[in-house]
Amino acid sequence: MQPEDIVRSGPNQFISQKGIYHELDSLISSSFQAPAVVTGHHSYDAFSAYTKLPSHWPVVQHKGYSSPNAISHIAEELKGADVIIGIGGGTILDTAKSVADALEIEVIMVPTIPGTCAASTPLSVIYDDKGNFMRVDYHKRSSYLTLIDHTFLLSSPLSYLQSGIGDTLAKWYEAEAIIRNAKDSLPLMVHAALKQAVYVRDILLSHSKEAVHSLQTGQLSQAFADVTDTIITLAGTVGGYGGRYGRMAGAHAIHNGLTFIEETHHVLHGQKVAYGILVQLAAESRMSEVEELLELYETLGLPRNMRELGITTQLDEAAKTVASHAARADETFCLIGDYSIEQIVDAIQVIENVSAS
């Protein structure tokens, strides 16, 4: 049995509550004797301005990608810890999970942005040191504890909320396509994953605009709390229930292909995935859904074409680079059908044309 075939519903424990980050020390000290923190530079500064970590906890501030070299280096530095606390965005949390897995200890997730579901999934996306996609690693453990503090997250940069919405919207479009194209009868939990994906999609379509307004005005709302909880935790249950049928398909394959274009390295994960949804739908000739999403993307500030991803020259070459990766037999586009490089290039061109009209 492969790791992606094992049903895992989410974190071992989950707390979503205003101000909960102030209680991090008390939540951990009763169960662990030697915590260690993996964080980023910006995320550590933001977290330290909001609340303080105990001075005796070792802290590693990582700048870069969740790469094998970084993971092994940090794991060596934090030998002797009995729990890893990841404080940061998706890359930091994926790194922290991999470090904990290497040390065979528990991991606690403290997201500082509502950008991905990394805080609630038992996997890490692995890149090389230059930021090119390598693989997805599945871990032995789900997080021991995942926390969400809406008050803290309300100070997130807007781009990360936009990215989180884009990444999470893909849960429905990818899971639905995988399940629709599956040739075999599927387990009950896969169908449960699809139902959860519908719920996730409906929350985002109904409340994302208000959630963005809440962040822009600094006024906490139920819509903001619901959308951030959906991005960080509910989204993870789709893949947790559905496994290979609920994690990644065409949209993420396009994202992975985009990582090989240097101009997109500054673009956040979920923004590239959001663009990937459009390409996947165009490849499937589902243009009415493309039109609906283009209107939403314009409202939310999500990228609708390659230029909005930062690719302004050699567009044909960029499209072929992305499609050549996405069409590989070991990529996830093949989970929704047999698409050639030329068909994916054509889908990219369709999106370029329709988004410019």
Where in the sequence numbering do the catalytic residues fall?
A: 167, 252, 255, 269
Is-contact 98 124, C-beta < 8 A? yes
Is-contact 200 172, C-beta < 8 A? yes
> Among residues 177, 136, 169, which one has the least CA distance to residue 337?
177
> What is the C-alpha separation between 211 and 266, in angstroms, rounded?
24
> What is the C-alpha separation between 121 and 137, in angstroms, rounded?
11
Does 330 show up as a binding residue in the annotation?
Answer: no
* Block residue for tokens 């000739």: 285
Start-to-end CA span in the chain (Å): 48
Does 269 show up as a binding residue in the annotation?
Answer: yes
> What is the C-alpha separation between 298 and 281, in angstroms, rounded?
17
Does 299 show up as a binding residue in the annotation?
Answer: no
Q: Measured in whole angstroms, how far is the alpha carbon of residue 283 from the centre of its chain?
A: 23
Does 245 show up as a binding residue in the annotation?
Answer: no
> What is the C-alpha separation between 338 and 267, in angstroms, rounded?
28
Is-contact 115 168, C-beta < 8 A? no
Does 22 show up as a binding residue in the annotation?
Answer: no
Name the maximum alpha-carbon separation found in the chain.
60
Does 92 show up as a binding residue in the annotation?
Answer: yes
> What is the C-alpha separation between 194 and 179, in angstroms, rounded?
8
Does 137 show up as a binding residue in the annotation?
Answer: no
Does 121 show up as a binding residue in the annotation?
Answer: yes
> Among residues 86, 119, 157, which one has the least CA distance to residue 235?
119
Does 93 show up as a binding residue in the annotation?
Answer: yes
> What is the C-alpha separation between 25 and 87, in angstroms, rounded?
13
Neighbours of 104 (CB within 10 A): 8
Show binding-site residues. Answer: 90-94, 121, 123, 127, 167, 252, 269
Show binding-site residues for NAD(+). Answer: 90-94, 121, 123, 127
Show binding-site residues for glycerol. Answer: 167, 252, 269
